[in-house]
């Protein structure tokens, strides 16, 4: 009798465990499918939605809204946030850890605003630590051209440093909050040196090159003096271009700009005292200055963003693929110059 009860109890327990395991598998599969479907949906929205939005308008972004109704005359406010990069420089479509100032998109937008007769002035709301040298210079040239046609006023956000200041320089007026971080006028290039790590791992790089300097900046060995001099000359030349841009745009003596351009950062108040900006204020101050310079009153204010709705969506859910994280973690062996605040 006892053996029969024990057998029955064991059989019941096995049945319960089997049912629980089947239920658990169903729940697990449901959750896995739901998460997978959500990720796939976001990917489809990011690609298809972005493409549809850009085809639906002449402007390269759908992020556009009226922030102050007015008459037929328009003051355009363009938000430029994030590092300044050549468009397509991100290698992973889901690697949006932050916004980015994509050069070709911003160039399209500013060119469209330049050609729009209703737009009488443009306010650039810049919040950027800087970025790539070539990308920053391309935007500098576009802002300079736009300012020759209609007034451009810069409103600095939390930070408009290095390349962020570079693209602000050719505007008619620069306005910053007293606590804005700006300046950082200079150039930086960095190379990892991993020969010690390679030695510990037993890794040996074998290089075949057509000339002495073809592998300049190689990470598996110490840099030679001749290589250092070559790279230093390139950094110096890019720095000289930055200094000349500020000297011309801000109408300051070159020796004064070089004194200020040692890479240090300035608060908005310090920047004003040194002639790097024109006045202290906020976005409203910049809009008022734009109206004054354009000789308009009560204009409609339309806000544009260099980031599309779908990019904002991806950023808000903080999706980052392993490929994007790996790309950020691995050192780059390519030579790049940056007008960038290195915090």
Beta bridge partners of 119: 74
| Closest alpha carbon to 292 in 178, 177, 172 | 172
93 contacts 48 by C-beta, under 8 angstroms: no
Residue position matching structure tokens 């950094």: 235
| Helix (H) or strand (E) run with residue 112 in it | helix 103-115
Round to whole Å and give the CA distance between 140 and 170.
7
Beta bridge partners of 103: none
DSSP state of 85: E
Q: For the stretch 86-121, what's the b/e string if a residue is b when 16 or more beta carbons lie within 10 angstroms of its beta carbon?
A: ebeebeebbbbeebbbbbebbbbbbebbbeeeebbb
Angle at alpha carbon of residue 41, lines to 35 and 42, rounded to 5° = 95
Residue among 7, 214, 295, 332 flagged as catalytic: 214
| Residue 281 CA to its chain's centroid (Å) | 24
Beta bridge partners of 176: 156, 280
The secondary structure of 72-132 as a DSSP string is S-EEEEEEEES-EE-TT--S-TT--SS--EEHHHHHHHHHHHHH-TTEEEEEEEEEE-EEE
**Tokens representing residue 113 in the block:** 């605003």
> Does the active-site annotation cover 144?
no
Residue among 162, 171, 238, 305 flagged as catalytic: 162
> Does the active-site annotation cover 150?
no
| Closest alpha carbon to 304 in 78, 127, 112 | 78
Round to whole Å and give the CA distance between 94 and 317.
11
Positions marked active-site: 162, 214
């Amino acid at each position: 009798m006892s053996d029969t009860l024990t057998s029955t109890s064991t059989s019941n327990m096995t049945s319960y465990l089997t049912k629980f395991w089947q239920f658990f598998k169903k729940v697990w599969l449901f959750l896995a499918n739901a998460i997978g479907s959500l990720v796939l949906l976001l990917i489809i929205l990011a690609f298809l939605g972005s493409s549809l939005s850009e085809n639906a308008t002449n402007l390269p972004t759908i992020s556009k809204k009226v922030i102050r109704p007015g008459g037929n005359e328009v003051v355009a406010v363009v938000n430029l946030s994030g590092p300044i990069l050549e468009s397509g420089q991100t290698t992973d479509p889901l690697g949006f850890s932050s916004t980015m100032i994509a050069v070709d998109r911003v160039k399209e937008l500013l060119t469209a605003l330049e050609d729009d007769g209703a737009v009488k002035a443009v306010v650039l709301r810049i919040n950027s630590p800087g970025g790539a040298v070539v990308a920053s210079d391309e935007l500098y040239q576009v802002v300079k051209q736009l300012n020759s046609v209609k007034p451009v006023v810069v409103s600095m956000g939390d930070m408009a440093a290095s390349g962020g200041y570079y693209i602000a320089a050719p505007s008619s007026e620069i306005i910053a909050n007293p606590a804005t971080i700006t300046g950082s006028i200079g150039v930086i290039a960095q190379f990892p040196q991993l020969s010690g790590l390679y030695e510990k791992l037993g890794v040996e790089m074998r290089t075949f090159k057509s000339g002495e300097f073809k592998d300049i900046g190689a990470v598996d060995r110490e840099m030679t003096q001749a290589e250092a001099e070559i790279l230093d000359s390139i950094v110096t030349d890019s720095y000289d271009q930055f200094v000349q841009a500020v000297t011309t745009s801000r109408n300051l003596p070159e020796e004064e700009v070089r004194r200020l351009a040692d890479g240090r950062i300035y608060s908005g108040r310090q920047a004003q005292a040194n002639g790097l900006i024109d006045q202290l204020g906020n976005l409203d101050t910049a809009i008022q200055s734009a109206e004054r310079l354009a000789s308009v009153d009560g204009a409609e204010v339309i806000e544009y963003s260099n980031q599309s709705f779908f990019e904002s969506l991806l950023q808000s859910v903080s999706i980052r693929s392993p490929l994007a994280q790996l790309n950020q973690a691995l050192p780059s062996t390519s030579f790049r110059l940056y007008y960038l605040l290195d915090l």
